Chain A
Amino acid sequence: MTSLRYMLYQLRKNPLSIIGIVIILTFIIIAIFAPIIAPPPEGHIDPYMIPRYGYSPIPKPPSEGHIFGTTEGQYDVFYGVIWGTRSAFRVGLIVIGTVLAIGIVLGSIAGYFGGVIDEIIMRITDIFLAFPILILAMAITVALGPSLDNVIIALIIASWPAYARLIRGDILAVREEDYVEAARGMGGSHLRIITRHILPNSIYPTLVMASLDIGAVVITAAALSFLGLGAPVGYVDWGQMISWSRNWIVGPPGNPLAYWYTVTIPGLFILFFVLGWNLLGDAFRDILDPRLSRK
């Protein structure tokens, strides 16, 4: 109970983290209630495909029926951004969850046992880290064939080494602490020492990075979609929606902001999603790390 009260106290002290939580909660609600907020039109088969209202390439401005207007190819922007929240969560959470699991296991093994195992795992991460994340993810997606699932796989392959490295570094530092030696002296097994004594003292930087990275992963996925490597055409995906508006960023001469809604609205959704996770990452650090609570 005291820890809960302490958590709330920490949160109250840092209003930015409250904003982060509010933003992410809003997105969660949007994702859960997407079928109510933006119900698929009658006879629409797959709710994850954006309904289109005609085939004209020229976007139409917001109107009664389409409150955020329609984008190139007459896809409904409102429907796309609301349902796109689900895709964003799916990509972000699956990628970061898997990457965390891989990173924690491999990083702990490398950091705790050291020696040859450490050398092997770290050289493998070096190989992956030699490529820029976006390029590597692109290459893998191209090889596997463009689809959202393959984007997820590609992002997992491209981003686990950073986590393994980060965890390993923190474990190397904590491993030398006296209380770890003391735990060994008390007869704890390796598994117990790693999970009970080392990880709780070294995992916080990684958790903070993970929550910051959920936003970054969504941006990278959007970038891949923007390049045409992501979801199939018409799928609810913010990156793809921005890629449709590529030709409509600047309007006709004399009215440069004519098609603002095509790029601004999906852009704002991505912006707030990433911002929310960033602020939440800071909040996590304040709440979770017991070493900061020595007041």
Chain B
Amino acid sequence: MNELLTIRNLTVKFYTYDGVVQALDNLDLDIKQKETFGLVGETGCGKTLTALSILRLISPPGRIESGSIYFNADSGDKPIDLLAIGEEEIRAIRGSKISMIFQEPSSALNPVYTIGDQVSEVILLHRRQELVNKAIEAINASLARRNSFVNTLANPIRLAERSLYQKIAQNPHSLWPRIVGRIPLVRRLLQRLKNEAKKMAISMLKEVEIPDSERVARQYPHQLSGGMEQRAVIAMALACSPRFLIADEPTTSLDVTIQDQILELLRRLKSERESSVLYITHDLGVAAQICDRIGVMYAGSLCEIARVDDLYANPLHPYTKALLAAVPKPGEEPHAIGGIVPDPLNLPSGCRFHPRCSRAIGICREHIPPMHELAPEHFIACHNYQGETGGSSC
């Protein structure tokens, strides 16, 4: 199977005091292995919501109404439906197999912990097994070279430590180590886990090209610049080598030079880890730079999906065309899209774009256009192209 993630009929509604908001409407989306998929659209069109739905992070009054999200973690296994599994299982996936980079790095980091603590928290959560094995190895090594008097004295402690770690290795949720971890002083026995996690966190910070990473690991978020913070956030997201990375406008709050560095970093890490990326942005330039395929969203549904070169060279949907025309170019007046974004409480009937569309026809007012493949790998939801397949028009 080629798809990593398959979203079918995803509908998300918000039950507010003013009424029910249909935030996502029957969304279908496929993300392939090792590709970068860009999701573009105006503010409030549901890009972030799509991402949060994948991780099941939508909180009340929002609710995932229907649909399924199949995630194909290992290509051998049967894909799992993220919307059908239990809370424990989704928690094990979050951060380890699917992780997310948030838009504002300064607020995505907890102000009261050092960078090193925050990166190692993810490692402690999801890579416990590895840490335990490393700790046992280290203990065995120090047990092997017993010759001095001090070592003989410390041996009973080391043995106690080792039995503790072995218990965790057998069953990561076993009760005894968890109790020990809560008792002051005695929990020093589990310190090795933390130390190993710290080491891994520092090497992770090195990997996201943070200079002097040992010092940075001891610093608090407010002591770093925006670019460094975003690198730390990326380090957190990639600490467990996720199969699927969601990047929610990771460069919006950064200036262009830093933005370029971050994009380059993301591209390198993505290809090294062979993971897929869902890149959410409203910056069409950035999307062109990093994405393989792009989906254009409008008012809670997708209107066009195409390969990136195809989309920019040959946009078909009237909204995509308008969006591209609205990008400011030197020496040219940008063309604003007429009208305003529809009120989500009171969406227009039929195609959501028809009140602002220059090519609206009668049927647009009544029926929602279905998504169909107009050209190879070029999907579009517009009545103007209904019935046409294969060859391109206009």
Interface residues of A (CB under 8 A from B): 114-115, 177-179, 181-189, 196-197, 200-201, 290-291, 294
A151 to B223, CA, bound (A): 48
Leading 3 A-B pairs by shortest Cβ distance? A186-B95, A187-B94, A187-B95
CA distance A120 to B28 in the complex (A): 40
Pick the contact of B100 from A114, A115, A182, A200 — CB < 8 Å? Answer: A182
Would you give 9 A-B contacts (Cβ < 8 Å), ordered by A?
A179-B109, A185-B57, A186-B125, A186-B236, A187-B92, A187-B95, A189-B91, A290-B111, A294-B220
- Chain B, interface size: which category? 20 to 34
Chain B residues lying within 8 Å of A185, measured Cβ to Cβ, are 55, 57, 94-95, 99-100, 102
Tell me whether B121 and A186 are in contact (CB under 8 A): yes
B residues sitting closer than 8 Å to A (CB atoms) are 55, 57, 60, 91-96, 99-100, 102-104, 107-113, 121-122, 125-126, 220, 222-223, 233, 236
Highest count of chain B CB atoms <10 Å: which of A114, A182, A290, A294: A182
- Kindly name the residue among B110, B113, B233 whose own CB sees the greatest number of chain A CB atoms within 10 A: B110
In the complex, A196 Cα to B118 Cα: how many Å?
11
- Complex Cα–Cα for A174 and B109 (A): 13
5 more contacts with CB within 8 A, not counting A181-B108, A182-B233, A188-B121, are A178-B107, A182-B236, A183-B110, A185-B100, A186-B94
* Residues in A neighbouring B92, C-beta threshold 8 A: 187
Chain A: which residue is nearest B117 at the CB level? A196
> Across the interface, do A186 and B112 meet the contact criterion of CB distance under 8 Å?
no
* Chain A hits for B126, CB < 8 A: 187
* Chain A facing B: main interface SS: helix
**B224 CB, min distance to chain A CBs, angstroms:** 12
Point out the residues of chain B lying under 8 angstroms from A179, CB to CB: 107-111
Asked whether A182 lies within 8 Å of B94 as measured between CB atoms, the reply is no
Known contacts A186-B125, A197-B110, A290-B112; decide if A178 and B104 are in contact (CB<8 Å).
Answer: yes
**C-alpha spacing A196/B113, complex, angstroms:** 9
> Which residue of A has the minimal Cβ distance to B93?
A187
Assess whether B102 is in contact with A181, with CB atoms less than 8 Å apart: yes
Given A178-B104, A294-B222, does the pair A184, B110 have CB atoms closer than 8 Å?
A: no
Instruction: Tell me which residues across on chain A come within 8 A of B222, comparing CB atoms.
Output: 294
Which residues on B sit within 8 Å (CB–CB) of A114?
60
| A residues near B107, Cβ cutoff 8 Å | 177-179
**Distance in angstroms between the alpha carbons of A181 and B100 in the assembled complex:** 10
| B108 and A291 contact, CB distance less than 8 A | no
Q: Which of A177, A178, A187, A197 contacts B125 (CB 8 A)?
A: A187
Cβ contact within 8 Å between B99 and A186: yes
* B111 with A178: CB separation less than 8 A: no
A183 to B55, CA, bound (A): 12
Question: Which of B57, B95, B103, B111 is in CB contact (< 8 Å) with A291?
Answer: B111
Bound Cα distance from A63 to B157, whole angstroms? 61
Asked if A188 meets B125 with Cβ closer than 8 Å, knowing A181-B57, A197-B110, A200-B112, the reply is yes
- Determine the distance from Cα of A185 to Cα of B56 in the docked complex, in whole angstroms: 9
**CB closest residue in chain A, given B126:** A187
CA distance A174 to B126 in the complex (A): 25
Bound state CA distance, A196 and B100, in angstroms? 20
Whether A201 and B111, one on each chain, are in contact in the complex, defined by CB atoms closer than 8 angstroms, is yes
CA distance A115 to B59 in the complex (A): 12
User: In the assembly, what is the distance between CA of A130 and CA of B200, in Å?
Assistant: 54
Residue in B closest to A289 when the chains form the complex, CB atoms: B112
Bound: A200/B91 CA distance, A: 22
Cβ–Cβ < 8 Å partners of B57 in chain A:
181, 184-185
Identify the closest chain B residue to A2 (Cβ). B218
CA distance A187 to B233 in the complex (A): 15
Looking at the assembled complex, report how far the CB atom of A110 sits from the nearest CB atom of chain B, in whole angstroms.
Answer: 15
**Chain B residues with CB below 8 A from A182, complex form:** 100, 102, 108-109, 233, 236
A200 to B126, CA, bound (A): 23
* B112→A201 contact, CB < 8 A: yes
Instruction: Specify which chain A residues have a CB less than 8 angstroms from the CB of B60 in the assembled complex.
Output: 114-115
